[in-house]
Copies of this chain bind each other. A is one copy, B any other.
């Protein structure tokens, strides 16, 4: 039995990770202990940040830790918000604040038509083992940014991200099963599960 402590305390992310890894045989998923302090996510890449979070938790607990970092990269904004996605509208940004900032930035640069609003979501998920070993996987989904938020499922930028081949629906208009089948986080964690199984 491999015991994995989850670095994320965000219930929305925990929901998805449990949905994605909860049925993997031989894994025991443990919620982040409340006494472990948060780490400053000042890495330059998603991989840096996932590693920072997983290593800090491994150090605090002495156990294998899994962390992920996710970024929304918008072409017309030169790849922004990227690693800044969670705090695009400021340090204490809300989901709605980040979405509003994204829409206003796209307006500001005149990116109105769908082909000017191309974007991708990327997740890097990483396990840091007590022996220093690390395993990681990446997932990506391409799409466009809607002009107005639609739907109330999901979280974060979901109400304005329209994945390709979704019939024009945003992530927030998909069921959680539909979202996880194609999402960046779904792809990253399924690949991570395969790599964990290969490692044995």
Contacts and interface: CB of A to CB of B under 8 A. Distances in A.
A103 to B, nearest CB: 19
Contacts of A35: 25
Interface of A: 1, 9, 11-12, 14-16, 18-19, 22-25, 27-35, 151-153, 172-173, 176
A28 B33 contact: yes
Nearest to A22: B31
Contacts of A32: 22
Contacts of A14: 14-15, 18, 22
| Chain B CB within 10 Å, residue with most, of A9, A18, A19, A153 | A18
A27 B36 CA distance: 12
Contact of A28 (B12, B19, B31, B152): B31
A152 B169 CA distance: 13
Nearest to A31: B29
Contacts of A19: 11
Given A11-B19, A152-B152, 7 more contacts: A1-B33, A11-B176, A12-B15, A12-B176, A14-B22, A18-B31, A28-B33
Contacts of A23: 9, 34
Given A152-B173, A153-B152, A173-B152, A34 B15 contact: no
